Structure 1
Amino acid sequence: MNRWLLLATAIVLEVAGTLALRAAVDHPAWYALVAVGYIGAFVALACVLRLGMGVGVAYGIWGACGVALTAVLATVFFGEPLTAPMGLGIALVIGGVLVVELGSQAAHRRGPEAGA
């Protein structure tokens, strides 16, 4: 399976688990989805790493997308606020991950002996 598709799966599972955690505050039956979401997310993330994606890149993208999606979906599903400073913070996190990914690609093109 494509490592990017697996990474997207890990992100979706982690966000589902986190949103289920919020839902479980009022309805404890959601804890089952919390467990499935988090376990599935970590298994998918481990598979991404096994397929050769760098841990910094994979974890950065996973974390940034998880933060952004969770914040937006918590607004949609739970009516939680999404303020301008929060939006700026999300943009900064995503921007930071993009810089890490670009740096990773540049290092990969130079070869392993160039990095230290």
Structure 2
Amino acid sequence: MSTGLIAYGALAAAIVCEVIGTSLLQKSEQFTKPIPTLLMAVFYAGSFFFLSQTLKTVPLGVAYAIWGGLGIVLTALISIFAFRQTLDLAAIIGIGMIVGGVVIVNGFSNTTLH
């Protein structure tokens, strides 16, 4: 298996862990619920572990842009579908711009692995 595929697999795991951790942050109710709070910490730690593995191959700026950008999009979707929260037009446009930035970095930057 190529190192690039492993790196992006680790990045995907980091994103999933971060999104789960953030969702559990909502469920922790400001750290008043012990189980969601503990699980949140575990998933955040997992996210940083996988992100650190990604950085063996992928440049920091690129990895962080993808991690942050996709984490924002997925977290926004979870907030809509799981927590029944709404986004206004400005939020949707802003998230769209983040997606556009991630696409540009991945599609056109020479600093990413292809």
Query: TM-score range, shorter-chain basis?
Result: 0.7 to 0.9
Distance apart, 1:28 and its partner CA: 3.6
Secondary structure of the corresponding residue to residue 2 of structure 1: helix
Q: Report deviation, 1:87.
A: 1.4
TM-score after normalising by structure 1: 0.82
5+ residue gaps, structure 1, are 109-116
Give, in angstroms, the shift of residue 102 of structure 1. 4.0
List aligned pairs for 1:1-116, cutoff 5 A: 2-25=6-29, 27-50=33-56, 52-105=57-110
Q: Give, in whole Å, the separation in 2 of the partners of 1:44 and 1:76.
A: 26
- Work out the CA distance in 1 between the residues paired with 2:81 and 2:93: 18
Return the offset for 1:4.
1.1
Q: Give, in whole Å, the separation in 2 of the partners of 1:41 and 1:9.
A: 7
Structure number with higher helix proportion:
1
Q: Which has the larger Rg?
A: 1
User: What RMSD in Å do the two structures reach over aligned CA positions?
Assistant: 2.0
Q: Secondary structure at the match of 2:87?
A: coil
With normalisation by structure 2, the TM-score equals: 0.83
Unaligned runs of 5+ in 2: none
Deviations 1:29-85 (A, max 9, x none): 2001110111000000000001x1011110000000000000110111111112222
Supply the distance in 1 between the matched residues of 2:90 and 2:40 (Cα, whole angstroms): 28
Question: Which structure has more RCO (C-alpha within 8 Å, separation ≥ 6)?
Answer: 2
